[in-house]
Amino acid sequence: AQSVTQPDIHITVSEGASLELRCNYSYGATPYLFWYVQSPGQGLQLLLKYFSGDTLVQGIKGFEAEFKRSQSSFNLRKPSVHWSDAAEYFCAVGAAGGGNKLTFGTGTQLKVEL
Amino acid sequence: DTAVSQTPKYLVTQMGNDKSIKCEQNLGHDTMYWYKQDSKKFLKIMFSYNNKELIINETVPNRFSPKSPDKAHLNLHINSLELGDSAVYFCASSQALGALNTEAFFGQGTRLTVV
């Protein structure tokens, strides 16, 4: 069964600083990996996804993530954080053979200090 | 034009009541889902439907009954509501089962509070 671990429950960064949110997955085959963002009281918005090919993927809002098979990781990065990036971030792994369901990590809450 | 829409956005009800949450997607997707987000923000799949057929039922109590009248709609009916059912329920949709692109689009969520 697939699983996702987000080791950091809370992260606080200063505006303008760089950001890296960690995500480790467990899945027997080639995973489909996603990062979603949830702003307070809102639904989930897809930031980026990895299915195959280039292991460095670019997403919306200046985010990128790198798939590292050897480390079973898919960390999210942003070179310069904006105050509006404060939100909950979820990493997820999908499995086409498993009914297309997504298995989510427990989320990382990002706070941005001005 | 909202891709995945859920109604209502907020629902407050008493224990023992029966309630429904509706979901519609206009993306032409074949697969729809219900996810539950608990008070600790953990998201877990409840059901998945593909072309009106139940694909996934993740050991959800049978008080929860999804219904898909057509592939654009997936409603969730909950009988005999309990305090522990309080959560945010998200509807989502994605392209056909087995498709390479399994990106899911989520609705805004329905915050259910049982008192």
Of A42, A90, A98, the CB nearest to B108: A42
Q: Which two tokens stand for residue B88?
A: 């945010």
- The pLDDT value recorded for residue B107 is 94
A49 CB within 8 Å of a chain B CB: yes
The segment with the largest mean pLDDT, out of A30-44, B11-25, B101-115, is B11-25
Given this model, what pLDDT does residue B21 score?
A: 98
- Neighbouring CB atoms inside 10 A of A109's CB total 15
Q: Is the dihedral of CA B22, B26, B29, B30 positive or negative?
A: positive
Radius of gyration of chain B (CA): 13
Q: Report how far residue B43's alpha carbon sits from residue B35's, in angstroms, rounded to the nearest whole number.
A: 6
Number of residues assigned to chain B: 115
Question: Nearest chain A Cα to B5, which residue?
Answer: A43
Question: Residue B33 is nearest to which of A96, A101, A103, comparing CB atoms?
Answer: A101
B40/A100 Cβ within 8 A: no
Spatial CB neighbours of A78, under 8 Å, sequence gap ≥ 6 = A18, A19, A61, A62, A63, A64, A85
pLDDT at res. B100: 58
pLDDT (average), residues A42-58: 91
Q: Which residue has the higher pLDDT, A4 or B55?
A: A4
The per-residue pLDDT of chain A, averaged, comes to 92
Tell me the average pLDDT across B74-103.
87
> Is the pLDDT score of B1 beyond 90?
no
- Cβ distance of B41 and A97 shorter than 8 Å: no
Min distance B14 CA to chain A CA atoms (Å): 22
pLDDT tens figures, A15-46:
999 999 999 999 877 788 999 999 988 889 99
Task: Check CB contact of B98 with chain A, cutoff 8 Å.
Answer: yes
CA contacts within 13 A on the Cβ side of B73: 10
Cα separation, B79 vs B61, in Å, equals: 10
- In chain A, which residues have their Cβ closer than 8 Å to the Cβ of B60? none
Residue from the list A43, A94, A98 with its beta carbon closest to the beta carbon of B106 = A43
Contact list, B53 vs chain A (CB under 8 Å): none
Which residue of B9, B43, B46 to mutate against A (max A Cβ within 10 Å)?
B43
* Percent residues over pLDDT 90 in chain B: 74
From CA B74, how far away is CA A78, in angstroms rounded? 36
